[in-house]
Amino acid sequence: MTVVSPDLLRQFDLPGPRYTSYPTADRFVDAFAAEEYVQALKQRRMGAAAMVMPLSLYVHIPFCESLCYYCACNKIITKHHDRAQPYLRYLAQEVDLHTAHIGTGQVVSQLHLGGGTPTFLSDEELRGLMAMLRRSFTLAPGGEYSIEVDPRTVDPARLAVLAELGFNRLSFGVQDFDPAVQHAVHRVQATEQVFALVEAARRLDFESVNVDLIYGLPRQTKESFDRTLAQVAQLRPDRVALYAYAHLPERFKPQRRIVTAQLPAAADRTAMLSRSLAAFEEAGYVYVGMDHFALPGDALAIAKRQGRLHRNFQGYSTQPDCDLIALGVSAIGRVGATYSQNAKTLEEYYDHLDQGRLPVVRGMALTRDDLVRRTVIMALMCQGLLHFESVELAYLIDFRTYFATELEALGVLAEQGLVTVSDSGIEVTAKGWFFVRAVAMVFDRYLQVDRNRARFSRII
């Protein structure tokens, strides 16, 4: 058992990027727009990637029936379900514009529907969306096809429809089972309902069921969160994502409805995390890395053991590193050495498509230095291991010279037992794996010149 002291947790209770990409999305610029994205798509079609590298698809469904006060996602709160139909028509237009550049039938090995609330869509709307995607792309057998599910919007019959449509992974948003916390964040859902849905998912043979939890929410206490952890252990989902609540009301308007005085103190938040790590380890879960736990037989835990973890804008993945086509308002994608993001409002998103343009409004083309550092950061975030020689051969650099400043800074983490640095490489220790974001931050060139980190979530 790896012991992580509360003192060390408190020391690293500071803001930092989640590194679903490097550089991170806050570095995107308006100068990278639709024209630059189209060029990246054309380069993919002309290159070898289109022949051998499968695609990943992300589809953003922004609609929610009610507002969760902690939410920092791009969403539209409405009870008018008829708003989904025009959105789906525009999604089809966006797909058509993509296939015009990369061709139809591109193989997809990973599909994720996020939001918002994807299950805001009716069964027929989901059927239509999946049929449209299958007409344009080829969904590979054995791929990862996942959808985020608000338990309040589904029943076992709806889960059966999701299985029929080809989804093999579900992620239930739970956050906390405590009724007082649920009322404080305006997300009330019965514990019995979640248990019934997870049981139904097992009967339907979904390959993996994930549950999302958040610590640091208003009215949470160490004792109340202990009860939630015990209930999750009883529920026994295949995966658990445990996130620290980032209270940034100046950036996210819904969070202004949270009573700041009801938020747990920093020491209590740290204690919640410490107790969570112990509870999940005792329950038999593997700490995959950065907020993620999985049962030993789950594909994510197996990929961790075998050194096959990857990371994209949705988090950790077992699928090989591949281009990500992002569809829908505010969606973020990656094609080749570029990142791109769609317009953040429906009005602007629709306007671009009405003019026959892809709705990309910001992004970036990665420099050589970005690519080198991305390789280093993703190796640390995913494998916890970096061989200097592999980077030197790939980019024709001398690692110790190129990263002299970073290796010196890494010495502090090495003294704390978080990493070991040898002549051949860097390895994150078992204890250091809980602070892997802090290790990755050492190699982030943008953070070295920008100390305004308050916009990020806390790293533990």
Q: What digits encode the pLDDT tens for the residues 214-244? A: 999 999 999 999 999 999 999 999 999 999 8
pLDDT confidence of residue 452: 54
Q: Encode pLDDT of 51-68 as tens digits.
A: 568 899 999 999 999 999
Q: Encode pLDDT of 406-428 as tens digits.
A: 999 999 999 999 999 999 999 99
Provide the angle, in degrees to the nearest 10, between the axes of the packed helices 84-102 and 123-136: 10
Tell me the mean pLDDT in the region 251-279. 92
- Comparison of pLDDT for 430 and 422, the residue scoring more: 422
Q: Encode pLDDT of 331-381 as tens digits.
A: 999 999 999 999 999 999 999 999 999 999 999 999 999 999 999 999 999
Tell me the mean pLDDT in the region 20-44. 94
pLDDT confidence of residue 16: 80
pLDDT confidence of residue 172: 96
pLDDT confidence of residue 321: 75
Looking only at the bridges linking them, the beta strands covering 419-421 and 425-428 are antiparallel
For residue 145, give the nearest of 171, 116, 109, 121 by alpha carbon. 109
pLDDT bin (cut points 50, 70, 90) of residue 431 is confident
pLDDT confidence of residue 157: 97
Task: Report whether pLDDT(448) > 90.
Answer: no
- What ranges do the domains of the chain cover? 1-23+368-460, 25-325
Alpha carbon distance 331, 325 (integer Å)? 9
Task: Report whether pLDDT(400) > 70.
Answer: yes
Task: Report whether pLDDT(1) > 70.
Answer: no
Mean pLDDT of the chain: 92
Alpha carbon distance 397, 307 (integer Å)? 24
pLDDT bin (cut points 50, 70, 90) of residue 307 is confident
Contact 60, 116 (CB under 8 A): yes
pLDDT confidence of residue 3: 63
pLDDT confidence of residue 289: 82
pLDDT confidence of residue 458: 61
Tell me the mean pLDDT in the region 243-255. 90
Burial class of residue 101 in the structure, from the number of CB atoms within 10 Å of its CB (0-12 exposed, 13-18 middle, 19+ buried): middle
For the beta carbon of residue 83, count every other beta carbon within 10 angstroms: 14
CATH 1.10.10.920 describes domain 1-23+368-460? yes
Task: Report whether pLDDT(304) > 70.
Answer: yes
pLDDT confidence of residue 34: 96
User: Cα dihedral sign for 14, 17, 20, 26?
Assistant: positive
- Comparison of pLDDT for 430 and 241, the residue scoring more: 241
For the entire predicted model, the pTM comes to: 0.92
Q: Encode pLDDT of 77-119 as tens digits.
A: 999 999 999 999 999 999 999 999 999 999 999 999 999 999 9
Alpha carbon distance 139, 328 (integer Å)? 19
Alpha carbon distance 293, 141 (integer Å)? 26
Tell me the mean pLDDT in the region 206-220. 96
**CATH T-level topology, domain 25-325:** pyruvate-formate lyase- activating enzyme (3.80.30)
Alpha carbon distance 57, 288 (integer Å)? 23
Q: Encode pLDDT of 308-331 as tens digits.
A: 888 888 788 887 778 999 999 999
- Comparison of pLDDT for 4 and 145, the residue scoring more: 145
Tokens of 212: 């999302």
